[in-house]
Homo-oligomer: A and B are copies of this chain.
């Protein structure tokens, strides 16, 4: 899915915009849950989204807590021939949305309700019906853990402060452009303290890397040709030209750095080596955490467990 702000689209996209089908996302909270689910489902239509065979626009309306605004949005959806996906904690709001959509023949879906109901039966407890704006669970243990993790991770980006490696939950080792920084901050958002250590020709790895618990170290590797492609696309997106000469030398230096990485990984066989080529950040994160559990717990079926 090629994603961009509709507002910043150029003339070409403008034409598509009118042809595109709209999905309205409405939440009394942030809307991120529904957006996440819609994005995953849109993955099922990648085959026609890429060539804009079935162009789609999403419009996210967050913080919708009163019925008047809700009705205005649904009216607008009717005008734009949009469908409506909603997460509304107050059952009367959810019902109002459902009825209005029915009345105006808009296709709609309650994303939160079925999940809440299923959990309610499982727990034998009733949902509060209160939206996240009303309940206040931000200042808990988890909040501090997450903030600590993010601050730690930013301070320990790109090999900084190697003397603190043992304080990290996860240590990522790899050559440039394997996405160490984005992966680190993604894991940090999930509460893990991450340090990342670059592999650079001619620069020694910090001694501490070989002294810490090796179960938290992960190697990242990438296909050199694809990596080269990434670097080129990146140079292009930055408006930089790339002559054949530089391309060739880059590919060579990339290959050399990757050879070095492979040698280091071979010398440290206890580090799992994760192939990041053509994986999105969140996919690599899932692989890291799966292996993390496996190495910490020795479970046959790795899982990420949490208690609430």
Residues in A lying within 8 Å of B, measured CB to CB: 1-7, 9, 13, 16-17, 20-21, 23, 29-33, 36-50, 53-63, 69, 72-73, 76, 83, 85, 87, 89, 107-109, 111-112, 114-116, 118-125, 127-130, 132-133, 135-148, 150-151, 154, 157, 179, 181-182, 185-186, 188-189, 191, 226, 229-230, 233-234, 237, 278-283, 285-287, 289-290, 293, 296-297, 301-308
Q: Which of B122, B191, B302 meets A23, CB within 8 Å?
A: B122
14 extra interface residue pairs, beta carbon distance < 8 Å, beyond A40-B132, A185-B188: A3-B145, A3-B308, A21-B123, A42-B308, A43-B89, A55-B308, A58-B308, A73-B301, A107-B118, A139-B278, A141-B237, A147-B182, A154-B154, A185-B189
Q: B301 touching A76 by the CB < 8 A rule? A: yes
Q: Which of B7, B43, B46, B63 meets A287, CB within 8 Å?
A: B63
CB neighbours of A63 from chain B (8 A): 286-287, 290
CB neighbours of A53 from chain B (8 A): 125
CB neighbours of A44 from chain B (8 A): 89, 116, 119-120, 127-130
Q: Which of B120, B135, B185, B296 meets A43, CB within 8 Å?
A: B135
Q: B33 touching A40 by the CB < 8 A rule? A: yes
